Amino acid sequence: MDAGITLWAGLIIFVIISLAVDMLLFEKRDEIASMRRSVIFSIAWIAVALLFGVGLFVAGESDAGAEFLTGYVLERSLSLDNVFVFALIFGAMAVPTVVRSTVLLWGIVGALVLRAIFIVAGAALVESFHWVLYVFGAILLFTGVRMALTEEQEEVDPDKIPGTKLVRRLFPVTNGYREDRLFVHEGGRRVATPLLVVVVAVAAADVIFAVDSIPAIFGITTDTFIVFAANAFALLGLRALYRLLDGAQAKFHLLRYGLAFLLVFIGFKMLIEDLWHIPIGLSLGVIIATLVIATLASLLRPPHDGDPPGGGPGTGPLPTPGPPQVPLSAGGGQ
C-alpha cells in the first residue's frame, strides 16, 4: 500500500500513546500485575491489532490487511521466544521481580527504534537487490533447522550480549539495584545502575531475534509500513505476555518445534517465490494451524523427567532471582 507521511505519523503517534497507556495502567511502580490483569491486557492488545487489520480491509486495502494480519500473527508467535530469553537474562542478572516490567518497557522502546532502522535497511536492500530475499530465506531455513535440532538450552551470559560491556565502559555501575532507576547520583557523580545494563541487554537480545523475525516477515510482505506496523503491534503488550507466561513455559515445551517449522516454512516460501507465490491466506492458515497444533501437543503430552532440560529456547521453568552470575559493576562501581 502507498502509505504517506500522514499514515506514518498516525501510526507512530498511536504506538507512543499505546506505550504510555500500557505504562500507566498495566503495572504501576512497585507493583506486580495479577494474572487476571495480564490476561485482560493481552486480549486487549491482540484486539487492537486485529482492529487495525480490519481497518485496512475497510479502507479498501484488502491485500495490505491480509499481509498485516499474517505478519502480526507470525511476529507475535516469534515474540514468545523473546519472552523466554528475557526471563533468562532477568534470572542471570538477579533482576528484582517488581522491576522486570519496567525493564521490558524500556526494552520495547529501544527495540522499536532499532527494529525500525533494521526494517528500513532491509527494505532498501530488498528493493535494490532482489537476491537478498534468497539470503533471508537461507538464514531462516538454517535457523529453523538449528532450533529444531537443539536439545539443550544454552545459558545466557549477559556480558556476551552486544552493548552490555560498552555500558560498563562508559559508566561506573553500582553494585546493586536502586529500585527502578537507571541512573543515580552517588559520591558526587552520576552513575548507572545494573538496571541500565539489563535494559541494554534486553533491547540487544531483541535485535538479535530480529535477525530471524524481520527476514521472516519480509517473506510475507516487503511493504515497509506493514512490516513496521506488524512488529510494533507484536511488541505492544509484551509486558502482559511476560507476566502471563511467567513460570508456564514448561507446559509449552513443544512450541519451539512449531516455531522452528514456521521459520523453515517462511524460508522455503522466500526461496521459491519466483517459481510459485504462496497465497497470503494459505500462509496465515499454516501459521495459525502450526501454533494450535504445537500448543495442543504440548498440553496433551506433558514433559517427562527424562526429557532434555529446557529443550532449547522457550522451554523449562523461568529462573527465579538469585545471586548474580555476572559482575554488576566495573571500573570501581559504588
> What residue segments make up the domains of the chain, in order of their start?
5-300
Residue type, 208: I
Tens of pLDDT, residues 281-307: 898 899 999 989 988 998 888 776 545
pLDDT at 167 (0 to 100)? 82
d(CA 327, CA 294): 38
Q: How far is CA 288 from CA 69, 141, 258, 294, 299, in A?
A: 11, 19, 10, 10, 17
pLDDT at res. 60:
83
Three-state DSSP string of the chain: CCCCHHHHHHHHHHHHHHHHHHHHHCCCCCCCCCHHHHHHHHHHHHHHHHHHHHHHHHCCCHHHHHHHHHHHHHHHHHHHHHHHHHHHHHHHCCCCHHHHHHHHHHHHHHHHHHHHHHHHHHHHHHHHCCCHHHHHHHHHHHHHHHHHHCCECCCCCHHHCCCHHHHHHHCCECCCCCCCCCEEEECCEEEECHHHHHHHHHHHHHHHHHHHHHHHHHCCCCCHHHHHHHHHHHHCCHHHHHHHHCCCHHHHCCHHHHHHHHHHHHHHHHHCCCCCCCCHHHHHHHHHHHHHHHHHHHHHCCCCCCCCCECCCCCCCCCCCCCCCCCCCCCCCC
User: What's this model's pTM, rounded to 2 decimal places?
Assistant: 0.78
Average predicted confidence (pLDDT) for the chain: 81
Kindly report, residue by residue over 72-123, the tens digit of the pLDDT. Answer: 999 988 888 778 778 878 888 888 888 888 888 887 888 888 888 889 888 8
CA-angle at 239, arms to 316 and 108, nearest 5°: 110
Question: What are 151-165's pLDDT values in tens digits?
Answer: 655 566 666 776 777
* Residue whose cell numbers read 508467535: 77
Amino acid sitting at position 224 = T
* pLDDT at residue 228 tops 90: yes
pLDDT recorded at residue 230: 93
* pLDDT above 90 as % of the chain: 19
Residue 274 in this model has a pLDDT that exceeds 60: yes
Confidence of residue 321 (pLDDT cuts 50, 70, 90): very low
Maximum separation of any 2 CA atoms in the chain, in Å: 66
Burial class (CB in 10 A: 0-12, 13-18, 19+), 133: buried
What pLDDT was estimated at residue 157?
66
